[in-house]
A and B are shown apart, each in its own frame.
Chain A
Amino acid sequence: MGAMNDVLVWSATAVAVAVALAGLASTLARRRIGLVHLAGAAVLEVLLVVQAVVAGVALAGGERPPETATFLGYLGGVVLLPVAGVLWSRTEPSRWAGTVLAVASLVTAVMVWRLVQLWEAPGV
């Protein structure tokens, strides 16, 4: 898989989906987000940072996906996304904070898989 580590990709996906479900659950329960959400988002962030470092090492080692610029854009974006999601949801005093976090988490999961696609895409 080159720059995209199987274990990291699947772990990040699982954690992202879990955080999204927890967020939706808190919205349905009419509650604000709690420590579980923040802890989950933190784990997700750590996984993404480790993945970004792994990808950075592969890139530094001379491996290149066909669309390097796009790949780098996604790599930078995916690391910032959970942080942005947490910040934007923490300032929301209603039950909708959970949905905000869920959106950010699901987009994170999608972006991780886009990164896998971009890395594995056949060169033009």
Chain B
Amino acid sequence: MSEREPAGTAPGGTAAGPGRVLVAVYAVFALAAGARAAVQLATRFSEAPVAYLLSALAAAVYVVATVGLARGGRTGRRTALGAIAVELAGVLVVGTLSLADPAAFPDETVWSAFGRGYGFVPLVLPVLGLLWLRRRTPASGGMPGSGG
């Protein structure tokens, strides 16, 4: 009870409290997806250009989401919201396609099989991100987070 509640950097800050954990996980994925995409594109781009470009797209999305969440504020939240929406769509589409047509995805990407190679974190992460953003949006129709 005596602990200081995270105030955040600004009203609607998204990088404090649990948000800091979220930013950390996003940063890890930005790095993991980015490094994987870089290696794939650099060493065997011709094997599966579409899959590897999707890998690079995933990396970019994670980077944008990380920056948006870390910066917070109105712009940061909007940026993060856009990136996370793309992320959710991406993991669902790529996840489905990679199971339906494995030949198109000969090499693992972060979103393959709904992120199975990463403990399905890529599937859960955008949902948590959206919930967190909703909680951190200053009341204008939404309810202030009252726990739960």
Contacts and interface: CB of A to CB of B under 8 A. Distances in A.
26 contacts: A31-B3, A32-B3, A67-B39, A69-B42, A69-B43, A70-B39, A77-B31, A84-B27, A88-B20, A88-B23, A88-B24, A92-B16, A92-B17, A92-B20, A94-B3, A94-B5, A94-B6, A94-B16, A95-B3, A96-B6, A96-B17, A96-B18, A96-B21, A99-B18, A103-B21, A103-B24
Contacts of A77: 31, 35
B42 A99 contact: no
A42 interface: no
A34 to B, nearest CB: 14
Main secondary structure of the interface of B (DSSP, over half): helix
Contacts of B42: 69
A32 B25 CA distance: 19
Chain B interface residue bracket vs A? 10 to 19
Main secondary structure of the interface of A (DSSP, over half): helix
